[in-house]
Homo-oligomer: A and B are copies of this chain.
Amino acid sequence: MNDYVIYLVPAFGLVGLLVMAFKSAWVSKQDAGDANMQELAGYIADGAMAFLKAEWRVLSIFVLITAALLAYTGSIHEVGGRQIHSSWLIAVAFIIGAVFSATAGYIGMRVATKANVRTTQAARTSLKQALKVSFTGGTVMGLGVAGLAVLGLGGLFIVFLAIFAGLGANQVKTAIEVLTGFSLGAESIALFARVGGGIYTKAADVGADLVGKVEAGIPEDDVRNPATIADNVGDNVGDVAGMGADLFGSYVATILATMVLGQEIRVNDAFGGMSPILLPMIVCGLGLIFSIVGTFFVRISDEKSSVQNALNLGNWSSIILTVIASFFAVMWILPEGTITLRGTSFTRMDVFWAIVVGTVVGAIMSIVTEYYTAMGKKPVMSIVRQSATGHATNIIGGLSVGMKSTVIPILTLAAGIVVSYYFAGLYGVAIAAAGMMSTTAMQLAIDAFGPIADNAGGIAEMSQLPPEVRERTDNLDAVGNTTAATGKGFAIASAALTALALFAAFVGMAGIDRIDIYKANVLAGLFIGAMIPFIFSALCIQAVGKAAMDMVQEVRRQFREIPGIMEYKTKPEYEKCVAISTKASIREMMLPGAIALITPVIVGFSFGPEVLGGLLAGVTVSGVLMGIFQNNAGGAWDNAKKSFEKGVEINGEMVYKGSDAHKASVTGDTVGDPFKDTSGPSMNILIKLMSIVSLVIAPYIYGIGQ
């Protein structure tokens, strides 16, 4: 066995983290602007840390209890005369996964709260420099997430293999079983971070807008608005820390699902039969390296250059380089001849084609998402026109755009499943997802740059800097809105493929050979599963609504009771608003999180694996649809509103900000806020988390309900 290969994986991760440290130091070195800007940035950084600390306090209790439960289940392996409590190891892996996930979010948030004010300062000089600072901030986040994931998975796998050395045939299987704990920890934190952060950011955003913009008539991000700091903190805890934890979880889950299926494959290779297990880690490690390469292409020459084109160039070069490198990796690692998994046979070339299918599916999903949410395109223009007849038609327009936008993504996904399965069976579906996720570092860099630019604009506004500064940050922010939407399309596609791979892994571990929805109880499971994304979304949306109402009342109170705010004489009590968002989001993330974690356990132990399989299928299908629907409706409403800012032609007349049509479009935007930033993006974590919980309990529910 070529032992060194297995060490390559954590090495890739370390390279990523080193580059990250280097880039992070570069960001810190940049000019942070004048004292006023630094003070405002300080409020934002403090608010964000306060939230993270409050969140971690609650989550650490959850993590310890869950770890104890995992340890208590107590399966024991005899290894060379010693007894190994694998359940203890699962608990440890779970804790490490949770800590890594929280760390990924923390790294991103730390650099984002530094990069924001430095981007503002850079924007005083040029667009080019502002892009450089904000994108480098995003890159730190991307490399941190991917680096920690690859290092954590690769490193733990080596450790667990060593611990279980002597188990013989079961060594690899047991090591991977224990490794699912790592993924469970990562995905649990991801869910709470995404939901909590999502509630935080939208409660602050909606609350700040409703009183500030609508009632008091002051602009967005005005320093006199008591909720403006909370709003800017929200960008960091929701769109940065939440998203970082989210993609960390996805990335780990995807690789792990492929490893679980890979360990079922018996091959005669140069790596002791481990090549199908190593491949997903190697592909993702390569993706990490080529994401770093891709970042060099993200640069513009002057004020007129297209930021979107620069990002696209970086994205596509990293994807194409990774695909090419994957070809060589597949040829090098997998053996020649036929590979067989659960009765399906394929060659290593087929595996490569499955990887290609994954990247193509990801690309189509991104393009379709962009079409449905971009300014000037037909769907957004239809909402713009329907705004002219009032609030109600604006809402009807957005809902129908969101629903329609599910068609092509679902057909693409269905085709992706069938074609990648055609090439390489279930392993093909899983490796397609891994291929799609391999350039997560680049995806995340592009994604995270958006909220940094958004914050930079906020600081420019609050510091009353010259208008050209705000123009430059607005330019970056507008691009960030599009990349945020396409990033979500990508995330939901990868979640669907990953969930399917986890689903297949679950079937294997639970010892069933089918999930037959023709059976009454399995069909009942399917119904209940499909309902969960509805109640989950309802709880998220409602939480935003409730927290926003609290925020509205606090802002109104401050305007009323603190004299001199409007005349810039007194500072508002920013920290009160920050506290409201923090408390509300922590409180409201509990119930949806509990539903996701506990439902599979109850159903699994009560009705057995086949019914649980039906439940998972229901959650996956309905979650993907609700995710696409909500993300795209929200994105389209947002850009329909933005269309009025520059003026837009409706029935031959130019209509601008402040018109009745614009007011109607603000309604849609506000409804879309929790859709696209709270419930919509939570769907992909919901799907994966429930699949991972099922995978972890699979060995214990073996045989129930048969």
Chain A: interface secondary structure? helix
Given contacts A534-B625, A621-B526, contact A518 B613 (CB under 8 A): yes
In the complex formed, the residue of B with least CB distance to A617 is B517
Q: What distance in Å separates the Cβ of A652 from its nearest Cβ neighbour in chain B?
A: 14
Interface residues of A in 539-597 (CB under 8 A from B): 539, 541-542, 544-545, 548-549, 552
Whether B517 contacts A386 by the Cβ 8 Å rule is no
Given contacts A393-B548, A411-B528, contact A521 B621 (CB under 8 A): no
Residue A514 lies at the interface, judged by CB distance under 8 Å to chain B: yes
Q: Name the B residues within 8 Å of A534 (CB-CB).
A: 403-404, 406-407, 625, 629
In the complex formed, the residue of B with least CB distance to A512 is B518
Whether A400 contacts B528 by the Cβ 8 Å rule is no
Residue A667 lies at the interface, judged by CB distance under 8 Å to chain B: yes
Residue A397 lies at the interface, judged by CB distance under 8 Å to chain B: yes
In the complex formed, the residue of B with least CB distance to A206 is B392
In the complex formed, the residue of B with least CB distance to A385 is B549
Given contacts A390-B210, A528-B410, A674-B396, contact A500 B514 (CB under 8 A): no
Interface residues of A in 108-141 (CB under 8 A from B): none
Whether B515 contacts A518 by the Cβ 8 Å rule is yes
Query: Of the 9-residue stretches A74-82, A240-248, A414-422, A684-692, which lies at the interface with chain B?
Result: A414-422
- With beta carbons under 8 angstroms apart, the residue of B403, B413, B552 that contacts A537 is B403
Q: What distance in Å separates the Cβ of A566 from its nearest Cβ neighbour in chain B?
A: 22
A421–B614 CA distance with the chains assembled, in angstroms: 17
Residue A391 lies at the interface, judged by CB distance under 8 Å to chain B: yes
Interface residues of A in 360-402 (CB under 8 A from B): 386, 389-393, 395-397, 399-402
Residue A704 lies at the interface, judged by CB distance under 8 Å to chain B: no
Interface residues of A in 500-525 (CB under 8 A from B): 500, 503-504, 507, 513-518, 520-521, 523-525
Residue A270 lies at the interface, judged by CB distance under 8 Å to chain B: no
- How many chain A residues sit at the interface, stated as a range, is 35 or more
A534–B520 CA distance with the chains assembled, in angstroms: 25
Residue A622 lies at the interface, judged by CB distance under 8 Å to chain B: yes
In the complex formed, the residue of B with least CB distance to A618 is B621
Whether A520 contacts B671 by the Cβ 8 Å rule is no
- With beta carbons under 8 angstroms apart, the residue of B407, B526, B667 that contacts A535 is B407
Q: Name the B residues within 8 Å of A206 (CB-CB).
A: 392
Q: What distance in Å separates the Cβ of A218 from its nearest Cβ neighbour in chain B?
A: 18
Whether B667 contacts A395 by the Cβ 8 Å rule is yes
A455–B513 CA distance with the chains assembled, in angstroms: 58
Whether B395 contacts A395 by the Cβ 8 Å rule is yes
Q: Name the B residues within 8 Å of A666 (CB-CB).
A: 392
Whether B406 contacts A545 by the Cβ 8 Å rule is no
> Which of A401, A415, A516 neighbours the largest number of chain B CB atoms within 10 Å of its CB?
A516
- With beta carbons under 8 angstroms apart, the residue of B389, B525, B552, B668 that contacts A389 is B552
- With beta carbons under 8 angstroms apart, the residue of B391, B514, B520, B625 that contacts A518 is B514
- Bits for A645-680, please: 1 = Cβ < 8 Å to B, else 0: 000000000000000000000111011001000000
A397–B414 CA distance with the chains assembled, in angstroms: 33
Whether B392 contacts A524 by the Cβ 8 Å rule is no
Whether B621 contacts A527 by the Cβ 8 Å rule is yes
A561–B523 CA distance with the chains assembled, in angstroms: 59
Q: Name the B residues within 8 Å of A525 (CB-CB).
A: 414
Q: What distance in Å separates the Cβ of A209 from its nearest Cβ neighbour in chain B?
A: 9
Whether A390 contacts B515 by the Cβ 8 Å rule is no
Residue A531 lies at the interface, judged by CB distance under 8 Å to chain B: yes
Whether B392 contacts A671 by the Cβ 8 Å rule is yes
A166–B115 CA distance with the chains assembled, in angstroms: 86
Q: What distance in Å separates the Cβ of A592 from its nearest Cβ neighbour in chain B?
A: 12
Q: What distance in Å separates the Cβ of A189 from its nearest Cβ neighbour in chain B?
A: 25
A421–B527 CA distance with the chains assembled, in angstroms: 15
In the complex formed, the residue of B with least CB distance to A401 is B538
Q: Name the B residues within 8 Å of A625 (CB-CB).
A: 530-531, 534, 622
In the complex formed, the residue of B with least CB distance to A616 is B517
A383–B415 CA distance with the chains assembled, in angstroms: 41
Q: Name the B residues within 8 Å of A496 (CB-CB).
A: 527
A414–B402 CA distance with the chains assembled, in angstroms: 28
* 21 examples of A-B residue contacts, CB within 8 angstroms: A206-B392, A391-B391, A393-B548, A395-B395, A395-B667, A396-B545, A396-B670, A400-B541, A403-B534, A403-B537, A403-B541, A404-B535, A404-B542, A410-B531, A414-B525, A417-B527, A504-B518, A517-B617, A527-B624, A530-B621, A667-B667
| A-B contact sample (8 more), CB < 8 A, given A390-B667, A513-B518 | A386-B545, A395-B395, A400-B539, A400-B545, A411-B528, A418-B521, A517-B617, A530-B622
